[in-house]
Chains A and B, each alone.
Chain A
């Protein structure tokens, strides 16, 4: 079903078959990690809070849909039935000034609807916000930057950027803090958004029910490149996640073949902002590059991670992301090639 949607790339088809799509997703074996879910529809929940929200949204849609059918039906009937006619005698219709009983009736009914809807809503608010934290929950600190995401796993000693890895079927608690302005963390299929507010730490949690790659992006305007502050969440099987953690905990690969590139990297301004674990590069303004080559994308998901694009990126970051805070490094093409070769070894 998913591959069908990808092939056609037509969201309208996806919309039409929402219910079917959901059913299929539920029975789909969780075998295809890296499977990209797109479009990131809020009606294709793949995690616990998103599921709860989805149920509540269907309930709300039912009630509001019912109200719409009744009121719009009455309105349509009224304007057709009581339209002025050509053969009319031009007399004024009987004047009616109001009726207390009728007013009361159409006050009481909405009150009852509000009570029901409010209780249903309150239930989900408390269920999501005040859920007890499981003992085995994974903690991740998410730091919003203009215009990229930093992910820290404090208990695992991992710092990475832009691509979040979490295990399936286990709760992950995201502690949201901002390094500069307000951002908002939103991956529709996993949970609703929570703002990333400077000086106001927030928390949200997800418990993914299926593996795959889930897309989202910053949902609070944060400056010129707000549009390219993309989020990629990889939901891994427990084994894949274990392997990923092991790999990320390693210090950076030290390959003598790219010593020239490394030297360039460490003697240029690169290290003011970027860190490579185990080397003299300890900057914290930009993404941690210790395992850059293990990531699929650069520039917060906006650019594919391959040598050509990486070259272009270092040469002129504005080319991909106009307004990005990384300056062009003013290196020659040959120098950039050496740096790219070095970065490419940082598996």
Chain B
């Protein structure tokens, strides 16, 4: 374990000992509401996202109970449609995006030796916009006056294909809640993205050139740039939808000459890069966790940066692979087959570089590395089923089947959620100052991995046997019953694992072992600060000479900057 009093500039904790005064609950709450501290906002984002992880998970469980056997009547068709619409919308917009921005908010300034984000007030504004968007969406359960006079959540699927969203087919207000909630939270997302870009470009400490930034920062920088491009068409088409519904527009109103395919194009120009917006932060966490627990520098840093930027660019030109079945020309289909397959090349480079980082190392299977390792295998499979879906003729079969659902849950759960779990175990000690319990972590890990594979491996086969997505029940004579029971059982096991994780987060907050500044013997700047870091992060501005400033300090005889 490294010496905790490393003489790095800025590492000295000169905080005056906190006077032990107990704030009243109101004062405490007030402090959290008015805060502009990037660390507190980061925590708010993460808590918000974790809450919606549980909510979205609950919705998934209701879906799985309904589908556990054929002709089940646990949920009504309408309620089922609301569940999968809310599950998808929640997990992407209220869980995935806030979680990645939470980690970015907390870690980017610390990693580049800054005291806060470039625009602290914009940061707070963005969070509260996002939070309000989530509240607005969920308020629809009470306020979205629907067909039968009951509260009515959106029930048009998370991609809300036109013209099902037009007033002729979606009366009531549920679709309005959906559109407005995404517009509002979309502006919050844009604000944070601008903030991260500005912070990375203008707030780096001395010596931190762009090519010395931790890969985590690089990837979040790329993600923020992508966000600016992708959220825009989403917001635009939501506004068009609202114009259609309330001002007599006919953008997507096919009965008046509007176009249903235009909505699909708009949505997927957002929707596909969005997948990379979510997965690049997962790569970012892998890029920090794998080297530290393999005890080696990341292999091929410049290649990793280039591959990330490459993915960002290519991912802007692949959206219509969600639309191979919509009736494009053969030339159009062929173009998107090629562009989609090209993504595989930089992605492959990343996997190989992680492999090479592990190669020759001394891998410590602490909780973050357990999740990071599972990520590698699951992301590999997700990538390969992605190639299968990129083969357009096969996609004509696989599209909108449970095979597709299995594929993107492999990406979103098997890769992204896994990596974020790794991130939780890795940075919780920094954020809270206490370690997460390792025994509970192992229960969480094994139950989750086993449940994950029972659910999503099986789901591929249900899809190959012809089961389409978003059906509230299926006929007994189709022969999908047994497999669906297995899928549901795996889902319940994952739910138990997530509850153990949530319990661990709370339990370790009070009872966890004290972490110290640098529990993992890591190399990036955030580990030079106390845990949790003081309000100002660094007492004096740090100066770095390489990509791993703490390695240089710990190994003055063999510093990194000699080799870079």
Interface status of B198 (Cβ within 8 A of chain A): no
Contact (Cβ within 8 A) A64 B384: yes
Chain A residues within an 8 Å CB radius of B161 = 181-182, 220-221
Q: Which of B155, B338, B393, B475 has the most CB of A within 10 A?
A: B393
Nearest-neighbor residue (CB-CB) of B564 within chain A = A97
B215-245 interface with A by 8 A CB criterion: none
Q: Which of B348-356, B417-425, B507-515, B526-534 contacts A (4 or more CB under 8 A)?
A: B348-356
- Neighbour of B393 across the interface among A52, A93, A114, A198, CB < 8 A: A52
Contact (Cβ within 8 A) B479 A14: yes
Give the complex CA separation of A68 and B254 in angstroms.
44
Interface status of A4 (Cβ within 8 A of chain B): no
Give the complex CA separation of A266 and B358 in angstroms.
77
Chain A residues within an 8 Å CB radius of B326 = 195, 197, 200, 202
Known A-B contacts A93-B361, A122-B334, A195-B327; A79 and B373 likewise in contact (beta carbons under 8 Å): yes
Interface status of B563 (Cβ within 8 A of chain A): yes
Chain B residues within an 8 Å CB radius of A117 = 341, 387, 391
Give the complex CA separation of A182 and B156 in angstroms.
12
- Neighbour of A114 across the interface among B157, B342, B399, CB < 8 A: B342
Nearest-neighbor residue (CB-CB) of B85 within chain A = A221
Contact (Cβ within 8 A) B330 A125: yes
- Neighbour of B468 across the interface among A39, A186, A322, CB < 8 A: A186
- Neighbour of B473 across the interface among A124, A215, A227, CB < 8 A: A227
B148-177 interface with A by 8 A CB criterion: 155-157, 161-164, 168-169
Contact (Cβ within 8 A) B466 A188: yes
Give the complex CA separation of A222 and B330 in angstroms.
26
Chain A residues within an 8 Å CB radius of B338 = 118
Contact (Cβ within 8 A) A217 B393: no
Chain B residues within an 8 Å CB radius of A61 = 388
Q: Which of B18-26, B187-195, B297-305, B435-443 contacts A (4 or more CB under 8 A)?
A: B297-305
- Neighbour of A82 across the interface among B294, B297, B327, B384, CB < 8 A: B294
A223 CB, min distance to chain B CBs, angstroms: 6
Give the complex CA separation of A227 and B384 in angstroms.
29
Interface status of A341 (Cβ within 8 A of chain B): no
Interface status of A99 (Cβ within 8 A of chain B): yes
Give the complex CA separation of A82 and B399 in angstroms.
40
Chain A residues within an 8 Å CB radius of B380 = 68, 71-72, 75
A17-51 interface with B by 8 A CB criterion: 36, 38-43, 49-50
Nearest-neighbor residue (CB-CB) of A78 within chain B = B358
Interface status of B364 (Cβ within 8 A of chain A): yes
Q: Which of B28-36, B73-81, B493-501 contacts A (4 or more CB under 8 A)?
A: B73-81
Known A-B contacts A110-B345, A118-B337, A122-B334; A199 and B260 likewise in contact (beta carbons under 8 Å): yes
- Neighbour of A230 across the interface among B78, B327, B475, CB < 8 A: B475
Interface status of A257 (Cβ within 8 A of chain B): no
B458-496 interface with A by 8 A CB criterion: 461, 464-466, 468-475, 477-483
Q: Classify chain A's interface size.
A: 35 or more
Chain A residues within an 8 Å CB radius of B358 = 75, 78-79, 82
Contact (Cβ within 8 A) A199 B258: yes
Give the complex CA separation of A99 and B563 in angstroms.
12
Per-residue CB contact flags for chain A residues 111-132 toward chain B (1 = under 8 Å, else 0) read: 1001001100110111011100
Chain B: how many interface residues by the 8 Å CB criterion? 102
Contact (Cβ within 8 A) A53 B471: no
Nearest-neighbor residue (CB-CB) of A15 within chain B = B461
Give the complex CA separation of A227 and B67 in angstroms.
12
Q: Which of A100-108, A155-163, A238-246 contacts B (4 or more CB under 8 A)?
A: A100-108
Interface status of B540 (Cβ within 8 A of chain A): no
Known A-B contacts A60-B391, A97-B297, A97-B301; A72 and B377 likewise in contact (beta carbons under 8 Å): yes
Known A-B contacts A38-B477, A96-B297; A224 and B164 likewise in contact (beta carbons under 8 Å): no
Per-residue CB contact flags for chain B residues 320-360 toward chain A (1 = under 8 Å, else 0) read: 00000111011001100110011011001101110110111
B242-257 interface with A by 8 A CB criterion: 254-255, 257
Chain A residues within an 8 Å CB radius of B296 = 93, 95-96
B364-397 interface with A by 8 A CB criterion: 364-365, 373, 376-377, 380-381, 384-385, 387-388, 390-397
Contact (Cβ within 8 A) A202 B341: no
Q: Which of A5-13, A165-173, A279-287, A306-314 contacts B (4 or more CB under 8 A)?
A: A5-13
Give the complex CA separation of A43 and B564 in angstroms.
52
- Neighbour of B387 across the interface among A39, A64, A126, A225, CB < 8 A: A64
- Neighbour of B254 across the interface among A75, A102, A199, CB < 8 A: A199
Give the complex CA separation of A202 and B260 in angstroms.
13
Interface status of B261 (Cβ within 8 A of chain A): yes
Known A-B contacts A41-B466, A198-B163, A200-B259; A114 and B341 likewise in contact (beta carbons under 8 Å): yes
Interface status of B398 (Cβ within 8 A of chain A): yes
Nearest-neighbor residue (CB-CB) of B294 within chain A = A82
Per-residue CB contact flags for chain A residues 70-88 toward chain B (1 = under 8 Å, else 0) read: 0110110011001111001
B19-56 interface with A by 8 A CB criterion: none
Nearest-neighbor residue (CB-CB) of B400 within chain A = A219
Nearest-neighbor residue (CB-CB) of A185 within chain B = B325
Interface status of A191 (Cβ within 8 A of chain B): yes
Chain B residues within an 8 Å CB radius of A230 = 475
Q: Which of A53, A129, A217 has the most CB of B within 10 A?
A: A129
A108 CB, min distance to chain B CBs, angstroms: 10
Contact (Cβ within 8 A) B391 A95: no
Interface status of B363 (Cβ within 8 A of chain A): yes
Chain A residues within an 8 Å CB radius of B471 = 217, 226-227
Give the complex CA separation of A60 and B376 in angstroms.
21
Contact (Cβ within 8 A) A224 B341: no
B296 CB, min distance to chain A CBs, angstroms: 6
Give the complex CA separation of A302 and B478 in angstroms.
12
Give the complex CA separation of A226 and B400 in angstroms.
13
Interface status of B362 (Cβ within 8 A of chain A): yes
A158-217 interface with B by 8 A CB criterion: 176, 178, 180-182, 184, 186, 188, 191-195, 197-200, 202-203, 215-217
Given A12-B461, A78-B359, A97-B564, 15 more pairs with CB closer than 8 A? A78-B355, A98-B300, A118-B337, A121-B391, A125-B334, A192-B325, A192-B395, A193-B397, A217-B471, A219-B468, A221-B157, A221-B161, A221-B164, A224-B78, A322-B76
List the 3 closest pairs (A to B, CB-CB), nearest first: A192-B396, A227-B471, A40-B466
List 27 A–B pairs whose Cβ atoms lie within 8 Å, in order of A's numbering.
A38-B477, A41-B464, A50-B397, A56-B391, A68-B381, A72-B380, A79-B358, A82-B359, A82-B362, A85-B362, A92-B362, A96-B296, A96-B299, A106-B352, A121-B393, A122-B337, A129-B329, A130-B330, A182-B161, A182-B260, A184-B468, A192-B396, A194-B325, A199-B254, A200-B260, A221-B157, A226-B471
Q: Which residues of B contact A (CB under 8 A)?
A: 76-78, 81, 155-157, 161-164, 168-169, 254-255, 257-261, 294-297, 299-303, 325-327, 329-330, 333-334, 337-338, 341-342, 344-345, 348-349, 351-353, 355-356, 358-365, 373, 376-377, 380-381, 384-385, 387-388, 390-401, 461, 464-466, 468-475, 477-483, 555, 558, 560, 563-564
